[in-house]
Amino acid sequence: MPAQKRARKVTASKDGPGGDAAAPETKPRPAAKAAGSAGGKRVLLVDDDVEIVESMKTVLEAKGYEILVARDGNQGLVLAEQENPDLVVLDMMMPKRSGFLVLERLRRSRPVPLRVIMITANEGSRHKAYAEMLGVDDYIRKPFAMDRLLESVQRLLS
């Protein structure tokens, strides 16, 4: 009996610094699954700061997480709906739709809430209180050590 070929779905992605910043990134780097401890968990990064996104992406992929990237709040909502990630890392201040509006929409539109870590450069305690009222799972102030983010991701996805 002849061997059957399996068709693979290939998703185009704009990886790296030359990619289109407006296009959501959904393709993991090949080493992501081999790194191990994350068990194929998917993390959506929603942030307009390219350097922060690349740093978070590098650290999380090294631990075996599959990373999705959205560059603004509207893209974040679309990817959260389409891709159903296990966790969202959400910046508070972004173009088109703030992290608060994204969080509010995610909390209203999903029967089982997504885990959400909000990151922000804002020092105000009112913002943290509001994020907690909306049900954020963790709140991290920028600048932060990548170990702090990784600990939170691992704790929320274990």
Q: Note down pLDDT in tens along the chain; length 158 residues.
A: 444 333 333 233 333 333 444 444 544 434 434 344 577 899 999 999 999 999 999 999 999 999 999 999 999 999 999 999 999 999 999 989 999 999 999 998 888 889 999 999 988 899 999 999 999 999 999 999 999 999 999 999 99
Instruction: Mention every residue, 6+ apart, whose C-beta is less than 8 A from residue 102.
Output: 46, 73, 76, 77, 90
Containing H/E element for 103?
helix 99-109
Each residue of 17-33: pLDDT tens digit? 334 444 445 444 344 34
Residues facing 141 on adjacent strands: 120
Question: What is the pTM assigned to this prediction?
Answer: 0.77
Domain spans in the chain, listed from the N-terminal domain onward:
42-157
Burial group, residue 111, by CB count within 10 angstroms (0-12, 13-18, 19+): exposed
Domain 42-157's class?
alpha beta
